[in-house]
Amino acid sequence: MSASTLRQQEIRRVRYMQRPSRLLELSAATALLASATFATSSLAAGKYDPGANDSEIKIGQTMSYSGPNSPFAVIGTIYDGYFRKINEEGGIRGRKINFISYDDGFNPAKTVEQTRRLIESDQVLFTVGSLGTALQLAVQKYMNGKKVPQLFINGSSSRWEDPEHFPWTMGFVTSYRSEGRVYARMLLKEKPDAKIGIIYQNDDYGRDLLRGVKEGLGERASMIVAEESFDITEPTMDTHIVKLKASGADTLFDFTPPKFAAQSIRKVAEIGWHPFHVLNTVSSSIATVLKPAGLENAEGIVSTAYLKDASDPRWDSDPGIVKFKAFVQKYAPTINLNDLIALNAYDEVQTIVHVLEQCGDDLTRENVMRQVANIKDFHPDGQLPGIDINTSPTDYAPMENLQIVKFEKDHWVPLGAVISGQSELH
């Protein structure tokens, strides 16, 4: 996929079906008989809803290929490449993936429009990997009303973990709220007299992190001496960072997406502020955040991790990272191999393929949801050891474990053992 294609206002990828390759060297007559028998049994056994049939599975997505969060467009590129890979390998039980990904420009109104188009016009079986907490909240009630699975949302809201009220919606990574609690509890242990300044995006993403911090601090919430919210349309973080320093804060909770996190790190260094700097996981990529900000400026920053970092030499011979790098080189060559957003998308798409394989020939929306709520100890290639994907009909949090990490020189160093984002730190 070229860079110019990613900048288009609307991206639509349709993978046309091809006949499956012959797997065994059979005589012409035997091959034809086997093919006919397979087709007959598939027709008899298959159960389908809109978006699936004997030859294809139609999957939808909304993505910010343009607008202020366009760096996340790599998610769509990874999904597209991985589905092409699956199709080249024969599809899923002989069915090819027909992937449709539309640009919403990180605009909720556009997300609503494009989601309706996917469901009502394109008639996809489900959506997966769509971007944005506020954006996906804008369509959550609609999709649940339509009983269309809204899966593996790229926005770690605790609102995706509510099977009682929204049984057709599920996220993927540990929720921002749980992540916020982890940071707060860590601080109570490591720096109990801290004066905290918080910068957060003024939407559900930022507010969920803020809420988690306050829950984690509990009666010690008075440790927060300043809060600064910002809108995604603002050009820089400079004014907010200056205000937080002036507040007397000696600790900075930086809850900003990648572009703005790099700005914040640079500005903190520029004004000679030296806070205990906590950076949210979504912006912890060395390649796309810390290097642009200056690695020397990132020294000592603390975050959490659930992914291996392909830029870290300790993973150079790891089988999962080796596979990821080979995939990117062949199917998504424009992507930065060291972009954690890309690796997370790779793990997501591996997991949805795993779910579709579990579905067998029952490709109804109800069964897709049943299978996605019954994932047991699945470990995608990019996950850290000890961080597996598990779900149940009452547990819509596929990932609950996190690793506290600290940035030293040019890589993240793990601190302690992998912990649950739902439990107290010890």
Inter-residue contact 297 to 261 (CB < 8 Å): no
How many domains would you assign to the chain? Answer: 2
Shared-domain flag, residues 275 and 337: no
Residues with Cβ < 8 Å from 177, sequence gap 6 or more? 157, 158, 208, 209, 211, 212, 215
Q: Which comes out higher in pLDDT, residue 415 or 193?
A: 193
Q: How far apart are the first and last CA of the chain?
A: 46
> Is it the case that residue 393 has pLDDT exceeding 80?
yes
The residues with which 302 forms a beta bridge, in sequence order, are 278, 406
- The answer as to whether 183 is a domain residue is yes
Shared-domain flag, residues 122 and 13: yes
Shared-domain flag, residues 121 and 73: yes
Shared-domain flag, residues 70 and 12: yes
Cα separation of 99 and 49, whole Å?
16
Residue-wise pLDDT for 252-291, tens only, equals 999 999 999 999 999 999 999 999 999 999 899 888 899 9
Shared-domain flag, residues 220 and 239: yes
- The answer as to whether 125 is a domain residue is yes
User: What's the average model confidence in pLDDT over 375-393?
Assistant: 95
pLDDT at position 29: 40
- The answer as to whether 127 is a domain residue is yes
Residue identified by tokens 């984690």 is 216
Shared-domain flag, residues 300 and 413: yes
- At 14, the pLDDT band (50, 70, 90 cuts) reads very low
- The answer as to whether 425 is a domain residue is no
- The answer as to whether 97 is a domain residue is yes
Shared-domain flag, residues 292 and 338: no
Shared-domain flag, residues 65 and 42: yes
Q: What phi and psi, each to the nearest 5 degrees, are found at residue 284?
A: -95, 10
pLDDT at position 45: 64
- The answer as to whether 311 is a domain residue is no
- At 402, the pLDDT band (50, 70, 90 cuts) reads confident
- The answer as to whether 414 is a domain residue is yes
Question: Residue 165 class from Cβ within 10 Å (0-12 exposed, 13-18 middle, 19+ buried)?
Answer: exposed
Shared-domain flag, residues 380 and 413: no
Shared-domain flag, residues 205 and 262: yes
Residue-wise pLDDT for 136-193, tens only, equals 999 999 999 999 999 999 988 888 999 999 999 999 988 888 899 989 989 999 999 9
pLDDT at position 4: 44
Shared-domain flag, residues 44 and 135: yes
Element holding 328 (H helix, E strand): helix 319-331
Whole-number Cα distances in Å, 392 to 12, 354, 396, 402 = 33, 15, 7, 20
Q: What secondary structure does DSSP assign to 146-175, as a single string?
A: HT--EES-BS--GGG--TTT-TTEE--SPP
Shared-domain flag, residues 264 and 389: no
User: What's the average model confidence in pLDDT over 306-317?
Assistant: 89
**CATH number assigned to the domain comprising residue 204:** 3.40.50.2300
pLDDT at position 34: 45
pLDDT at position 360: 97
pLDDT at position 23: 33
- The answer as to whether 426 is a domain residue is no
Q: Which domain covers residue 413, as residue numbers?
A: 176-305+403-420
